């Protein structure tokens, strides 16, 4: 890397793609005033930039087998947790020798910076093929997601009715270190509808930190089809914490 150039790795988990920056090799990339932060939107632009749902910068953790990862959304806002991103971070850290074993801890930005245990599986060639992350327990208390429920109507246990554009939407709010609103539906909406509704619901007045919005259709007991609108980004192909 020299001048304004930034070395990066383009990675994805189930199509949820990120620009990953190595702040272990170049610690200045993890600094709060790193120049790339002002250009995150340009970097993520799919027509004129690299194209991604966001940027992840990886840096050293406190322990020998810890790494720290910060997520920045494609609009430049803080991303908090990212389930698919954690797996990308594990792959980079292991294959570049930043941790000693295939078990590691990723400290990722969110409510209080969560510590996530990750276990990777490598092939005979040493390449990480899979990674499993323990995302911890979901938080269902609306105030801790956070959601301001004073203007909402309760629609059942952990369910609330949210009105937007004159239409009511029944949602369950969940935090995995970032806020999610899940709607169980009979038919998954198409991209135009997800984009229209997602853009409105993300910024509803009841959501002080904005919201990731999901439409979930139970196909059969062990299969759920989901359409996702991610806060600070757009409609994405997958969302690990949303899953």
pLDDT, tens digit (0-9, with 9 covering 90-100), for 138-191: 999 999 999 999 999 999 999 999 998 788 999 999 999 999 999 999 999 999
For residue 77, give the DSSP letter. Answer: S
Q: Which is the catalytic residue, given 41, 44, 159, 239?
A: 239
136, 116 in Cβ contact below 8 A?
yes
Separation of alpha carbons 137 and 201, rounded Å? 25
The two structure tokens encoding residue 137: 């327990």
Cα first-last separation, the chain: 36
H-helix or E-strand containing 181?
A: strand 179-184
**Is the full-model pTM beyond 0.75?**
yes
pLDDT of residue 38 exceeding 70? yes
Q: Is the dihedral of CA 50, 188, 87, 31 positive or negative?
A: positive
Residue 14 annotated in active site: no
**Res. 112 pLDDT band, cuts 50 70 90:** low
Query: How high is the pLDDT of residue 65?
Result: 82
Segment 14-20 shows an average pLDDT of 96
pLDDT of residue 1 exceeding 50? no
pLDDT of residue 2 exceeding 50? no
Separation of alpha carbons 228 and 131, rounded Å? 22
Separation of alpha carbons 176 and 220, rounded Å? 24
Q: What are the tens digits of pLDDT across the range 211-242?
A: 999 999 999 999 999 999 999 999 999 999 99
H-helix or E-strand containing 40?
A: helix 40-44
pLDDT of residue 111 exceeding 80? no
Q: Which is the catalytic residue, given 14, 44, 82, 159?
A: 82
Residue 44 annotated in active site: no
Q: What are the tens digits of pLDDT across the range 185-211?
A: 999 999 999 999 999 999 999 999 999
> What would the DSSP string read from start to end of 100-155?
SSSEEEEEESSTT-EEEEEEEEE-TTS-EEEEEEE--PPB--GGGTT---TTSEEE
Residue 56 CA: distances (Å) to CA of 165, 179, 207, 233:
34, 18, 24, 14
Query: How high is the pLDDT of residue 4?
Result: 61
């Amino acid at each position: 890397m020299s001048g304004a150039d930034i070395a990066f790795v383009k990675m994805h988990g189930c199509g949820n793609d990120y620009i990953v920056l190595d702040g272990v090799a170049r610690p200045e990339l993890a600094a709060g005033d790193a120049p790339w932060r002002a250009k995150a939107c340009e970097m993520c632009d799919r027509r004129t930039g690299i194209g991604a749902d966001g940027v992840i910068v990886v840096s050293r953790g406190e322990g020998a087998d810890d790494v720290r990862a910060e997520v920045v959304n494609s609009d430049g806002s803080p991303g908090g947790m990212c389930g698919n991103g954690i797996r990308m971070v594990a792959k980079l850290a292991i294959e570049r020798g930043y941790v000693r074993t295939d078990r590691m801890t990723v400290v990722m930005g969110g409510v209080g910076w969560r510590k996530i245990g990750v276990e990777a599986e490598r092939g005979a060639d040493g390449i990480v093929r899979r990674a499993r992350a323990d995302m911890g327990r979901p938080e269902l208390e609306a105030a801790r997601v956070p959601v301001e429920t004073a203007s909402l109507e309760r629609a059942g246990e952990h369910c609330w009715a949210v009105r937007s554009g004159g239409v009511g939407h029944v949602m369950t709010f969940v935090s995995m270190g970032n806020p999610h609103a899940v709607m169980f539906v009979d038919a998954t909406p198409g991209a135009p509808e997800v984009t229209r509704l997602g853009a409105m619901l993300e910024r509803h007045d009841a959501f002080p930190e904005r919201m990731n919005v999901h439409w979930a259709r139970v196909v059969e007991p062990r299969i759920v089809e989901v359409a996702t609108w991610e806060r600070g980004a757009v409609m994405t192909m997958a969302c690990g914490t949303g899953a």
